[in-house]
Amino acid sequence: MKIETTPRDDHQVKIVAEFEPEVMEKFKRQAARKISQQARIPGFRPGKAPYDIIRRMYGDDTIVKEALELLMDDVYPDVLKAAEVEPSGPGSLDEVISNDPPKLVFIVPLVPTVELGDYQAIRKEYTPPEVSDEQIDEVIRNLRASYSTAEPVDRPVEEGDLVSVKVSGQFTHPAEGEDAEAIKENTVQMIIGENDFEVDDWPYEGFSRELIGLKENDVNEITYTYPEDDEEENLRGKEVHITATVLSVKSLHLPEVNDEFSQSLGDYPTVDALRDSIRQNLQETSTREYDTSYYNGLVDEVLKVSSVKYPPQMLQEEIDRVKHSLMHDLEDRKMDFPTYLKTLNKDEATFIEEDIKPVAIQRLERSLILDEVAQAEKVKLDPEELQQQVAGTMQYLHQTDPEITKLRGERAQNFAQGLTMETASRLLNRQVLDRLKAIATGEVEKDEAEALAAKLAKAGETEDAPQSVENAPEAVEDSQPDAPVASDQMVAATEEVEDAPTETEGEETSTEAEPEEKSDQA
């Protein structure tokens, strides 16, 4: 067998494999036997018809085609070994240069490669925002609005009233061929004037005050010229004739903010207790959103100084995963994919190229970067923590999803394995992100300096101890624990968790459940 390899720009390799003539003859004979086993040939039992009979009945082209398939199945691993190629997935037969002797061209995707830049030099402060009193006040204002009462009144509109109004608008001087409709007729409720519950900015800022003094069924005709920097592009600089019809007028009564109001909302004996609870919830939400932005930004900084290469097949798989996730979300919203595309005014190919593909690239590259950092930083996965997390998740699923308890055997094992791998991936991601954060905020340098000082002090060298990590790099490197690479950790930890007794043993869960993608933060 002769092998020629040519690297391609898309992180694949072209392999030209030429075989000895007798190799093809061998597989042609096998192909003829396979054809005779599958076909009815008069006078012969299945698989017993002579080669020449098969040739006359089916022709050389059919035999050669079948022979090539058998040859590829049999010799493809040998081709990869001879070419010294490590594939990331199945290759493909690109071309048959000749049949005799067999000379085939394979395109093989390579495993992704990541060359990390100097990510340890990246610095990024971690400063999650603190919740302000104004944010708490806003939540309380919204609660008051939710528990407010509105009583119909037979009088003109006043400041603070809740008014239902029908609004439409026409361009006063539409351009030739332009639709004269500027504001599609719409019925809305609005609180009149400045208030703590909503912004008075539709159909333009301060519009609600145009309704003061009107009664139910009164109509107000208004001509308004929109500013050149208006948010709505089609309205910028345009003069619009707006028609507003008052449909109802209600007086709005808001509850007082006191202990009685707090107690009506739940287990909050005082207003202070309510505010404390709101602050905690806002802080958790705020920190979670900040973390997502911070860690994504941090990983992207690592990407900027690194090189990531992968074959197109890996990107296509990620595109398929993103699309599958989107369709699952649409299903929950009772909307099908074609209808969703219509709302965006896009066909499927355009949507995938413009919307899904960029997300898939981002997710794939962040994932590859995290895997490489995990190995470079020797991040260790704690099997005990993994087991606790899997057990807790499984217990929750048993309590909340009756279908989980109905499944048995192999499907239960598959689900447990998938859940374990997903949990392992999530925990490892979290540890890698925490490590990157420690590096970016300078915590690693501080911890290593302290560890070095302690090590030298213990050795009785405190007086000569260097004051920074840079002064004693070898000592610091010696203090770093060895750890298996990320993928080995996940497999080993998974096996350990699977061996541990849990409530899931003997039960089956859905094989359709797939491990979730890596943390959104990455």
> For position 484, what pLDDT does the model report?
37
Place of tokens 């990246």: 122
Name beta bridge partners: 171: 240
What sign results for the dihedral spanned by CA atoms 186, 190, 192, 198?
negative
Q: Return the CA Rg of the chain.
A: 34
- What is the average per-residue pLDDT within 432-438? 94
- Read off the pLDDT band of 475 (50, 70, 90): very low
Place of tokens 């096996």: 495
What backbone phi and psi angles, to 5 degrees, belong to 465? Answer: -65, 130
Tell me how far apart the alpha carbons of residues 179 and 63 are, in angstroms, rounded to a whole number. Answer: 66
CA dihedral (32, 33, 35, 36) in degrees, to 10, reads: 120
The identity of residue 380, as a single letter, is K
Q: CB of 404 within 8 A of CB of 513? A: no
pLDDT in tens, 270-314: 999 999 999 999 999 999 999 999 999 999 999 999 999 999 999
Class of residue 370 by CB neighbours under 10 A (exposed 0-12, middle 13-18, buried 19+)? buried
> For position 465, what pLDDT does the model report?
44
Quote helix, strand, coil % in the chain, to nearest 5.
Answer: 50, 15, 30
What backbone phi and psi angles, to 5 degrees, belong to 182? Answer: -95, -40
pLDDT, the chain, mean: 84
Highest mean pLDDT out of 27-41, 59-73, 105-119: 105-119
> For position 273, what pLDDT does the model report?
97
> For position 196, what pLDDT does the model report?
62
Q: How far is CA 227 from CA 233, 239, 505, in A?
A: 10, 9, 67
- What is the average per-residue pLDDT within 314-323? 96
Tell me how far apart the alpha carbons of residues 410 and 431 are, in angstroms, rounded to a whole number. Answer: 31
> For position 500, what pLDDT does the model report?
47
pLDDT in tens, 202-249: 999 999 999 999 999 999 999 999 999 998 888 999 999 999 999 999
- What is the average per-residue pLDDT within 451-477? 51
pLDDT in tens, 66-98: 888 888 888 889 999 999 999 999 998 899 898
Token pair of 404 as six digits: 């989980």
Range list of H helices, 377-442 = 383-400, 402-405, 409-440
Range list of H helices, 153-270 = 259-264
pLDDT beyond 70 at 481 = no
Name beta bridge partners: 149: 253
Tell me how far apart the alpha carbons of residues 153 and 135 are, in angstroms, rounded to a whole number. Answer: 33
Greater confidence, 448 or 349? 349
- What is the average per-residue pLDDT within 264-270? 95
Place of tokens 């490489």: 372
pLDDT beyond 50 at 195 = yes
282 alpha-carbon distance from chain centroid: 24
Q: CB of 469 within 8 A of CB of 477? A: no
What sign results for the dihedral spanned by CA atoms 294, 298, 299, 300?
positive
The helix/strand/coil state of 20 is coil
- Read off the pLDDT band of 182 (50, 70, 90): very high
Range list of H helices, 159-270 = 259-264
Token pair of 215 as six digits: 């009664």
Segment (H or E) for 349 = helix 348-351
Q: Which domains does the chain have, with CATH numbers?
A: 2-111 (3.30.70.1050), 113-148+256-305 (no CATH), 150-253 (3.10.50.30), 310-370 (no CATH), 377-499 (no CATH)
pLDDT beyond 50 at 150 = yes
Lowest mean pLDDT among 379-383, 388-392, 409-413: 409-413
pLDDT beyond 90 at 146 = no
Token pair of 365 as six digits: 């590259």
Q: CB of 82 within 8 A of CB of 3? A: yes
Tell me how far apart the alpha carbons of residues 164 and 250 are, in angstroms, rounded to a whole number. Answer: 9
Name beta bridge partners: 163: 190, 249
Q: What is the DSSP string of 434-477?
A: HHHHHHHTTHHHHHHHHHHHHHHHHTT-GGG--SSGGG-HHHHH
Greater confidence, 364 or 490? 364
| Cβ neighbour number for residue 223 with a 10 Å cutoff | 10
pLDDT beyond 60 at 469 = no
pLDDT beyond 70 at 487 = no
> For position 197, what pLDDT does the model report?
67
pLDDT beyond 60 at 483 = no
Residue 383 preceded by cis peptide, ω within 30: no
Highest mean pLDDT out of 16-20, 172-176, 363-367: 363-367
102 closest CA partner among 201, 6, 192, 25: 25
Neighbouring residues of 482: CB distance < 8 A, sequence distance ≥ 6: 378
